[in-house]
Amino acid sequence: MTDDTRKIAKWKITIGVAIIALAGAAGGFGLAGWIMPGGDAGMAMTDGECEDVLYWYDPMVPGQRFDAPGPSPFMDMQLVPKCAGGEAQGSGVSIDPAMVQNLGIRTVAAEYGMLEPGTIVTGTLAYNGGAVANVQPRTGGYVQRTYGLAPQDVVVSGAPIADVLVPEWGGAQAEYLAVRATGDEPLARAARERLRLLGMPDTIISSVERSGRPQSTITVTAPQSGAITMLGVRPGMTVSAGQSLAEISSYSPIWLEAAVPEAQAGSARVGQPVSATLTAFPDERFAGRIIAILPGVAEASRTLTVRAALPNPGLRLKPGMFAQVTLSSEQREALLVPSEAVIRTGERTLVMIAREGGGYRPAEVRIGREAGGRTEILAGLGEGEEVVSSGQFLLDSEASLSGIDVRAIDDAPTASARGEGRANTESPRVYRANGTVQRISGRSVTLRHGPVPALGWPAMTMAFAAEGPDQLRGLRQGDRVSFTFEQADTGPHIVSIRKAGE
């Protein structure tokens, strides 16, 4: 390549860079003209086009105002005049309609609908801490025999735990038999009362009376069914009255302890329905209710522990199992907008609304629950108002820099008024399902039912309140039934129930 050729190529590169720089500056100035507060959309005006200039500003930094024209200290361009007589400052942000699509701005109407209920958290199954029995001997003695039990063994009520030899019982029983043989009833009653004071149960005393022989060994039995969570007895050891030999914990109903994030703790309440799915039974859903909300918050995870009780017929659910837990929220109609339309500034919550005459304006709102990509609006927005769901942060930034007033909550209709009015006038809805009876009590029936599409319920096992025993008369465990129910604030309530085929 010759020197002349190199010079020509160098000049071409230099000219190309200059053209790109000029095009970029023009593009930036054009973008600034697309979004202008107070309706000044399009190309910026020159000083001569304004009869009365309020101030000058840089379109790229509209919050900074200048008293005289000149070069911008921020960009390589001249300041633009703000003309008097235009739309009042602070009323909104206007955009050239031709540029709305290019900027990706989309609007969605706020409308009433059913918010998808439920907060999904994780949890684990645990022993029922409210049903723990402490196995203790009534008197001291020596352990003669244990029954091969170990921790975590499952026992039924009345199962033997240990045989305890009580030497002092032998002498007292022999004395009682001798006094009883004399026929002196007052003395015999006194001797019998002495046996009771020594801690002897009536069954042992009756056995001594029938056999006529002393019985100084007592069998300590399980007072309830459950799992042995503590076992402190061994053959040959000496025990004293009231010493703990074992602890038996029930897990029917079983406890479910779920970790609810602190930000969602306000949605949990005692008595609220919950449902759980477990890896061991992937096709089933187990229903229960919250019985306690523990007072402490875990510092590491910032979660609150919520405790629920689940029916456990057949003891299929085991302590320690992992569960996916859904906390069911109250079903009610609400004014909804896409969650992406909500702008959280830290001090307040905003949405950008589209004005009827064109342009956009920020409005403060009060929000409620959020689920399925939609957020409940409690106040600050009316049904049918268009909110910006895409590009709202660009508009909010422009509105903030331009000092545009935010519409206050009190200046808009209350979103909850319409929903509350409907709730007061509508009667409870009745739902229909089929299922199998799992358990019957006086005022409730546990059913394993199929899906309820109207409520978004999958197939699950849960308890339903009943009017009383008369409504459940003739039903037995295992019966296939068809039933209708209402979803009340206190939970599902049976309206009618009958055996399938009747």
Residue 312 and residue 346 in one domain: no
pLDDT mean across residues, the chain? 77
CA 249 to chain centre: 28
**Predicted local distance difference test score (pLDDT) of residue 331:** 60
Is residue 167 domain-resident?
yes
Q: Which of 327, 346, 381 is the last residue of a domain?
A: 327
**Predicted local distance difference test score (pLDDT) of residue 230:** 93
Is residue 313 domain-resident?
yes
Residue 239 and residue 278 in one domain: no
Instruction: With residue 489 as reference, give the H or E element that holds it.
Output: none
Residue 147 and residue 62 in one domain: no
Residue 203 and residue 272 in one domain: no
Q: Residue 492: beta bridge partners? A: 487
Token readout for 251 is 């897990």
Is residue 95 domain-resident?
no
Is residue 401 domain-resident?
yes
Q: Give the whole-angstrom CA distance, residue 327 versus residue 306.
A: 10
Residue 173 and residue 261 in one domain: no
* pTM beyond cutoff 0.85: no
Q: Which of 293, 311, 327 is the last residue of a domain?
A: 327
Residue 140 and residue 234 in one domain: yes
Contacts of 327 (CB under 8 A, 6+ apart): 118, 119, 120, 121, 258, 260, 267, 268, 272, 274, 290, 306
Three-state DSSP at 404 gives coil
Is residue 125 domain-resident?
no
In total, how many domains does the chain have?
Answer: 5
Three-state DSSP at 191 gives helix
pLDDT in tens, 282-312: 888 898 899 999 988 888 888 989 999 999 9
Is residue 369 domain-resident?
yes
Can you give the CATH number for the domain in which 300 is found? 2.40.30.170
pLDDT in tens, 423-459: 444 456 788 889 999 988 877 888 988 888 777 677 7
Residue 286 and residue 338 in one domain: no
**Predicted local distance difference test score (pLDDT) of residue 212:** 83
Q: Side chain identity at 292, as an amino acid letter?
A: A
Can you give the CATH number for the domain in which 446 is found? 2.40.50.320
Residue 230 and residue 148 in one domain: yes
List of E strands, 38-110: 53-58, 61-66, 80-83, 93-95, 106-109
* Neighbour count for residue 361 (Cβ, 10 Å): 19
**Ranges of residues in the chain whose predicted pLDDT is under 70:** 1-51, 59-63, 83-104, 115-118, 329-332, 356-358, 391-405, 413-428, 456, 488-490, 502
DSSP state at residue 452: B
Q: Is 40 exposed, middle or buried (0-12, 13-18, 19+ CB in 10 A)?
A: buried
In the chain, what is the straight-line distance between the N-terminal and C-terminal CA atoms, in Å?
Answer: 101
**Predicted local distance difference test score (pLDDT) of residue 12:** 44
Q: Report CA-CA distances (Å) from 105 to 24, 354, 388, 405.
A: 23, 11, 7, 21
Residue 80 and residue 140 in one domain: no
Can you give the CATH number for the domain in which 346 is found? 2.40.420.20
* Neighbour count for residue 314 (Cβ, 10 Å): 7
Residue 16 and residue 76 in one domain: yes
Domain residue limits at 204: 132-243
Q: Are strands 430-440 and 444-449 parallel, antiparallel or unpaired?
A: antiparallel
Is residue 96 domain-resident?
no
Sequence-ordered alpha helix ranges (H) in 369-449: 392-402, 415-425
Residue 317 and residue 354 in one domain: no
Token readout for 421 is 């009015």
Is residue 217 domain-resident?
yes
Residue 342 and residue 291 in one domain: no
Token readout for 258 is 């779920």
Q: Which of 389, 408, 424 is the last residue of a domain?
A: 424
